[in-house]
């Protein structure tokens, strides 16, 4: 019977096309559509702030250089990962991340909680030549980040696109995007005050690359790396971390 049915189906090109589309559509619809409608999918984090223009520019450099190929930004709910990297990642922490950079491979360590772990000077030295600070490292050198000036004239358009997609950037933030990018890396300039005003007092405002007077790609990338895991404290507040009650932790091995 089934074979008879299939012999009929095989005789119709259009029927076969429709059958393939129908059969293949089910899985994705069942798994993806509810992620937009079930509220528990993403936690609430009222304290979460958006990336500053400089941090967003740094994130775009991270994207451009393909850092996701070797670094994850997703700490799994496993004991050894929490002890190595910090509290496991929550969905809300990447809710402004377009694209998400969870990664799939750790040739280098996870970076989800990198922010604040090392000094700016360490990051700059490490990016210029990783083997100067970690002799065994196999990471590429990124010397050109220090050489190249950061492009900031189009940052308003970046923020505008994000706003259209639902990221809560205000019109004021969009208007001042270029000035805020300059101000965040130049604490003595007149632009610095506006950054704290729009993005919060806790925002890092300093010369990230150690070279005052020039706004380089290094400034932006280090500013981004220093904010990783620090847009919200939600992950530090979860009960699971405090009690150590993780989902599943096949931690010890023979």
Partner 1 sequence: MVAGLTRSERQLALVILTLLGLAGLAMAAAGRGDLMGAHGFVVLVFAGAVAWVLMAGFYAPEPGEERLARYYDDPTKAGIVLTMGWAVFGMFFGVWVSALLAWPELTFVDQAWASFGRMRPVHTTGVIFGFGGNALIATSLHVLQRTSRARLPDQLSPWFVLIGYNLFCVLAVTGYFMGVTQSKEYAEPEWYADIWLVVVWVVYFLIYIRTLQRRQEPHIYVANWYYMAFILVVAVLHIVNNLALPISLSAARSYPIYSGVQDAMVQWWYGHNAVAFFLTAGFLGMMYYYMPKRADRPIFSYRLSIISFWGITFFYMWAGSHHLHYTALPQWVQTLGMTFSIMLLVPSWSSAGNALATLNGAWHKVRDDATLRFMMVAAVFYGISTFEGSFMAIRSVNSLSHYTDWTVGHVHAGALGWVAMITFGSIYALVPWMWKRKTMYSPRLVEAHFWLALTGTIVYVFAMWNSGIIQGLMWRTYAESGTLAYSFIDSLVAMHPYYIARTVGGLFFLAGASVGAFNVAMTIRAARQETVQGSAADVPATAAVQPGE
Site string for partner 1, 124-163 (x = CB under 8 A): ------xx--x-xxxxxxxxx---------x--xx-xxx-
**Residue of the chain from 4, 24, 201, 243 that contacts partner 1 (CB under 8 A):** 24
Site string for partner 1, 158-197 (x = CB under 8 A): x-xxx-xxxx------------------------------
Q: Does 36 bind partner 1 (CB under 8 A)?
A: yes
Please, are residues 73 and 102 in contact by the beta-carbon 8 Å criterion?
yes
Please, are residues 22 and 153 in contact by the beta-carbon 8 Å criterion?
no
Site string for partner 1, 223-252 (x = CB under 8 A): ------------------------xx-xxx
Residue 24 to residues 6, 28, 30, Cα–Cα distance (Å): 17, 8, 11
Q: Does 35 bind partner 1 (CB under 8 A)?
A: yes
Q: Which is nearer to partner 1, 109 or 212 (CB)?
A: 109
* Site of tokens 């919060």: 200
Helices (H), 148-190: 155-164, 171-175, 177-184
Q: Which residues pair with 224 in a beta bridge?
A: none
Please, are residues 126 and 133 in contact by the beta-carbon 8 Å criterion?
yes
User: Which residues fall within 8 angstroms of residue 210, CB to CB, at 6 or more apart?
Assistant: 120, 121, 124
Give the other-Cβ count within 10 Å of 98's Cβ: 14
Q: Which is nearer to partner 1, 142 or 199 (CB)?
A: 142
How large is the angle between the packed helices 53-64 and 217-225, nearest 10 degrees? Answer: 100
Whole-number minimum distance, CB 196 to partner 1, in Å?
A: 26
Q: Which residues pair with 149 in a beta bridge?
A: 216
Whole-number minimum distance, CB 216 to partner 1, in Å?
A: 14
Q: Which of residues 63-122 bind partner 1 (CB under 8 A)?
A: 63-70, 72, 74, 76-78, 80-81, 83-84, 88-110
Q: Does 46 bind partner 1 (CB under 8 A)?
A: no
Q: Furthest-apart CA pair in the chain: how many Å?
A: 81
Q: Does 6 bind partner 1 (CB under 8 A)?
A: yes
Q: Does 214 bind partner 1 (CB under 8 A)?
A: no
Q: Does 1 bind partner 1 (CB under 8 A)?
A: no
Q: Which is nearer to partner 1, 22 or 213 (CB)?
A: 22
Q: Which stretch binds partner 1 (CB under 8 A): 10-18, 118-126, 200-208, 219-227?
A: 10-18
């Amino acid at each position: 019977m089934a074979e008879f049915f299939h012999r009929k189906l095989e005789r119709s090109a259009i029927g076969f096309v429709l059958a393939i589309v129908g059969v293949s559509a089910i899985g994705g619809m069942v798994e993806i559509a509810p992620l937009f409608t079930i509220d528990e999918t993403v936690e609430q984090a009222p304290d979460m702030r958006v990336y500053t223009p400089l941090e967003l520019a740094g994130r775009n450099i991270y994207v451009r250089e393909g850092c996701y190929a070797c670094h994850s930004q997703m700490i799994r709910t496993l004991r050894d990962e929490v002890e190595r990297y910090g509290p496991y990642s929550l969905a809300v922490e990447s809710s402004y991340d377009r694209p998400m950079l969870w990664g799939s491979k750790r040739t280098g360590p996870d970076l989800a909680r990198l922010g604040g772990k090392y000094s700016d000077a360490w990051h700059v030295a490490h990016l210029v030549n990783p083997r100067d600070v970690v002799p065994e490292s196999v990471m590429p050198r990124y010397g050109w980040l220090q050489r190249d000036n950061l492009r900031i004239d189009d940052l308003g358009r970046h923020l505008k696109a994000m706003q259209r997609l639902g990221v809560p950037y205000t019109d004021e933030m969009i208007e001042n995007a270029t000035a805020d990018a300059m101000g965040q890396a130049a604490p003595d300039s007149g632009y610095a005050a506006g950054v704290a005003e729009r993005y919060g007092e806790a925002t890092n405002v300093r010369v990230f690359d150690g070279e005052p007077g020039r706004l380089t790609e290094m400034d932006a990338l280090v500013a981004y790396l220093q904010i990783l895991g620090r847009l919200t404290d939600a992950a530090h507040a979860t009960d699971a971390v405090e009690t150590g009650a993780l989902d599943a932790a096949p931690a010890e091995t023979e």
